[in-house]
Amino acid sequence: MYRSGLLLREVATKLGIHRSTLAEYFRRDGIDLRRRPMRDNEAQRAAKLYEDGQSLFNVGQQLGFSGGTIRSALQRQGVELRDPDGRYSSDR
């Protein structure tokens, strides 16, 4: 499935396991993982979704990236991040 072009997340969902578990199996078996950088339009979309109130996790789910990747992309764009309780550190 993965070699035919499905995303790691899609294969993991079909198999009923977490994507990190599947990635570990692939690494153990010598299967190279495909990684692609986030495109500019995806980073802009991530910023819009996040600024509209969605969580890093939810934005990542929609765009096919981890929450950590979304966080990094937003930081590179200068987007102010909320704390875990949804509050901004500065007065807006």
More confident residue, 60 or 85: 60
Are the C-beta atoms of residues 73 and 38 closer than 8 Å to each other? yes
Quote the mean pLDDT of the chain: 88
Could you give phi then psi for residue 26, rounded to 5 degrees?
A: -60, -45
Separation between Cα atoms, residue 12 and residue 91, nearest integer Å: 41
Percentage of the residues of the chain whose pLDDT score is greater than 70:
97
Structure confidence by residue, pLDDT tens digits, 4-31 = 778 888 899 999 999 889 999 999 999 8
* Other beta carbons within 10 Å of 5: 8
Average pLDDT over residues 28-44: 88
Residue range 37-92 in CATH 1.10.10: yes
Residue extents of the structural domains in the chain: 1-35, 37-92
The half-sphere exposure of 46 on its side-chain side, counting CA atoms within 13 A, is: 30
Q: Which of 18-22, 27-31, 32-36, 72-76 has the lowest mean pLDDT?
A: 32-36
Residue type, 59: V
